[in-house]
Structure 1
Amino acid sequence: MSTPTWLKPLAWAALIWNSLGVIAFVMQMMMTPELISKLPIDQQAAYSDIPLWSTIAFAIAVFGGLLGCIFLLKKKALAIPTFTVSLAAILLQQYYNFVVINSIDLLGASAVFMPILVIIIAIGLLYISIKGKQQSWLN
Structure 2
Amino acid sequence: MASFLRQRPPAWFRIVAVILLLWGLMGAASVYLHVAYGADMDPKATDWDRAYYAALPGWFTPVYAVAVGGGLLGAIALLMGSRLAKPLFIVSLIAVVVQFGYVFLGTDMLARKGAAITVPFPLFIAAVAAAQVWLADLAQRRGWIG
**Do they fold alike, i.e. is TM over 0.5?**
yes
- Alignment: residue pair count: 139
Tell me, in whole angstroms, the C-alpha distance in 2 between the residues paired with 1:74 and 1:11. 10
* 1:44 counterpart (27, 50, 62): 50
Tell me, in whole angstroms, the C-alpha distance in 2 between the residues paired with 1:34 and 1:117. 24
The aligned residue for residue 67 of structure 1 is: 73
The aligned residue for residue 79 of structure 1 is: 85
TM-score normalised by the chain length of structure 1:
0.91
Q: Which amino acid aligns with 1:54?
A: F
Structure 1: segments with no counterpart, 5+ residues: none
C-alpha displacement of 1:76: 0.7
C-alpha displacement of 1:37: 10
Name the CA shift for 1:135/1:59 in 2 (closer, same or farther; >3 Å): same
User: Is this contact kept in 1: 2:39–2:49, CA < 8 A?
Assistant: no
The aligned residue for residue 3 of structure 2 is: none
Structure 2: segments with no counterpart, 5+ residues: 1-6
Once the two structures are superposed, residues 25-72 of structure 1 have per-residue CA deviations (whole angstroms, 9 ceiling, x without a partner) of 100101268768972122121111111111111010011110000001
* 1:119 counterpart (102, 114, 126): 126
Alignment of 1:92-107 (within 5 A): 92-107=98-113
TM-score normalised by the chain length of structure 2:
0.87
The aligned residue for residue 22 of structure 2 is: 16
- Could you say what the CA RMSD is over the residues aligned between the two structures, in angstroms? 2.0
Q: Which amino acid aligns with 2:126?
A: I
User: Is this contact kept in 2: 1:68–1:79, CA < 8 A?
Assistant: yes
Tell me, in whole angstroms, the C-alpha distance in 2 between the residues paired with 1:117 and 1:47. 22
Instruction: Provide the identity percentage.
Output: 29
